[in-house]
Structure 1
Amino acid sequence: MSFAGEQYPGVQVPPPEADGFRLNHTMLRIKDPEASLSFYTRVFGMRVLRRLDFEAMQFSLYFLARPEAGETVPEETGERTVWTFSQRGVLELTHNWGTEGQEGRIYHDGNAEPQGFGHICFSVPDLEAAEAWFDANEVEFVKRSDQGKMKDVVFVKDVDGYWIEVVQADRLSALGDGAPG
C-alpha cells in the first residue's frame, strides 16, 4: 500500500481530476537581478534554466533550479521552457524593471509584521559545512544551527531579505516529535 499522507481535520482524498498535479515553482520578487542571480548561483549552486522577458509589462522572470547530476536539460529554448515548467523545486525570481535603482530592501520578507510568506528551504548534505560556506560568503544569518529551540535548522537571508531555511535531512528524524498526530 502506498503512503496516502498524514490525516488531519480538513484533509480530503485527492480527486482523480488532480492526478498529475505537482508543485513546480515558487516566486520571489527581486530588486536587482544581478545581485540575486549572483547570490543563488554562487551560494546555493543553482542554475538559470530560463529567462523570460515581458517588455510590454516591464518585467523579467528567471527560473532557477539544481538539476541532478547527469540530468539532461534541453538546449533549444522552447523545449527548455516546457522542461522547466515540468520540474519540481524551481525558484522563480521576478524582476520588475526599474526597481534596482530604489533604495534599501523594497519587498516585504513575510516575516516582519504583518506576517505572511515565511521562507523557502534548501536541504544540504552537511549543515556545518554549509554554515562555514555561508560565513565565507558573508551571508546574513537569522539563526545558526546551535541557536534557538530548533537545533539543526539554519535560517539565512538572501539579498532581498527573504528567509531561507537550510537543513540536513538525516538530522531531522525527530523534528516536531511530540506533536499531535
Structure 2
Amino acid sequence: MSLHELNTFPGVTAEPDAATQGFVFNHTMLRVKDITASLDFYTRVLGFHLVDKRDFPEAEFSLYFLALVDKAHIPQDDAARHQWMKSIPGVLELTHNHGTENDAGFSYYNGNTDSRGFGHICVSVPDVVAACARFEQLNVPFQKRLQDGRMNHLAFVKDPDGYWVEIIQPTPL
C-alpha cells in the first residue's frame, strides 16, 4: 500500500487536525515486579539509559523512565532533564510497586496470555542477527527466534516480567 492509499483508507483522516501539531508519543508504562532485574535487562541487555526516577513513598511505588538516547544528550539539571524527558519520543516508564519483588507468587499480566490485550514493545537494532546472538549468550529468554516461523526477519525476547520485546532492524536481512 502506498502512503497515499494509507491516508485515504476508510476511517483515516488524511491530515491530522492542526491542533495536534507538536504532539509527541512520549512513553509507554509497564508494571514490573523486581525493579533490579528489570533495570538490568533494559539497561545492560537493551541499552536504555535511566533518565529519571520519581519516588512516591506514601503510595509505595516508584517510577523509572528509560530511553534509547545518547547519554551526552541527557541534561544534568533535574528540572531540565525532567522537561526534556517529557518532550522526546519513545520513553519507557517502569512502575515498581514496592514489595512485589518479595512475593514469590506475584506476577503481572504480560498481555499475551488469555485474554490477550497488550502485545509488545519493539526495539530496532542495526543488526538483528548480531543482537540475537548476543541475547543468546546472555541467556535472554526468547518468545520467537529469527529462525522460528515464517517471519525470519524479526525476533521476540522476554523481559523479566514476561513482556515481549520485538527486535527488528530497519534494513532487509
| TM more than 0.5 | yes
Measured in 2, the distance between the counterparts of 1:15 and 1:124 equals 33
The match for 1:122 is: 123
Q: Deviation at 1:54?
A: 1.2
The match for 1:177 is: none
Q: Do 1:28 and 1:92's aligned partners in 2 also have CA atoms closer than 8 Å?
A: yes
Taking the TM superposition and a 5 Å limit, the aligned residue runs for 1:26-45 are 26-45=28-47
State which drifts further: 143-152 or 102-111. 102-111
| Runs (5+) with no aligned partner, structure 2 | none
- Aligned-pair identity in percent equals 49
**Amino acid corresponding to residue 120 of structure 1 in structure 2:** I
Measured in 2, the distance between the counterparts of 1:35 and 1:61 equals 15
Q: CA RMSD in A?
A: 1.7
The match for 1:64 is: 66
Measured in 1, the distance between the counterparts of 2:169 and 2:132 equals 11
Runs of 4+ deviating beyond 3 Å: none
Q: Do 1:105 and 1:161's aligned partners in 2 also have CA atoms closer than 8 Å?
A: no
**Amino acid corresponding to residue 47 of structure 1 in structure 2:** H
Measured in 1, the distance between the counterparts of 2:103 and 2:22 equals 41
Q: Do 2:142 and 2:158's aligned partners in 1 also have CA atoms closer than 8 Å?
A: yes
| Runs (5+) with no aligned partner, structure 1 | 173-181
Measured in 1, the distance between the counterparts of 2:140 and 2:25 equals 28
The match for 1:145 is: 146
> Taking structure 1 as reference, are residues 5 and 76 closer, same or farther at Cα in structure 2, changes over 3 Å only?
farther
> Taking structure 1 as reference, are residues 10 and 64 closer, same or farther at Cα in structure 2, changes over 3 Å only?
same
**Amino acid corresponding to residue 66 of structure 2 in structure 1:** L
Measured in 1, the distance between the counterparts of 2:162 and 2:154 equals 18
Q: Do 1:41 and 1:47's aligned partners in 2 also have CA atoms closer than 8 Å?
A: yes
Measured in 2, the distance between the counterparts of 1:46 and 1:34 equals 14
**Amino acid corresponding to residue 46 of structure 2 in structure 1:** F
Q: Do 2:153 and 2:172's aligned partners in 1 also have CA atoms closer than 8 Å?
A: yes
State which drifts further: 11-20 or 45-54. 11-20
TM-score, normalised by the number of residues in structure 2: 0.92
* Cα deviation code 1:12-70 (max 9, x no counterpart): 2311111111100101000011110011111011110000111222111100012137x
Measured in 2, the distance between the counterparts of 1:19 and 1:148 equals 40
Q: Do 2:100 and 2:106's aligned partners in 1 also have CA atoms closer than 8 Å?
A: no
Q: Which protein is richer in helix relative to its size? A: 2
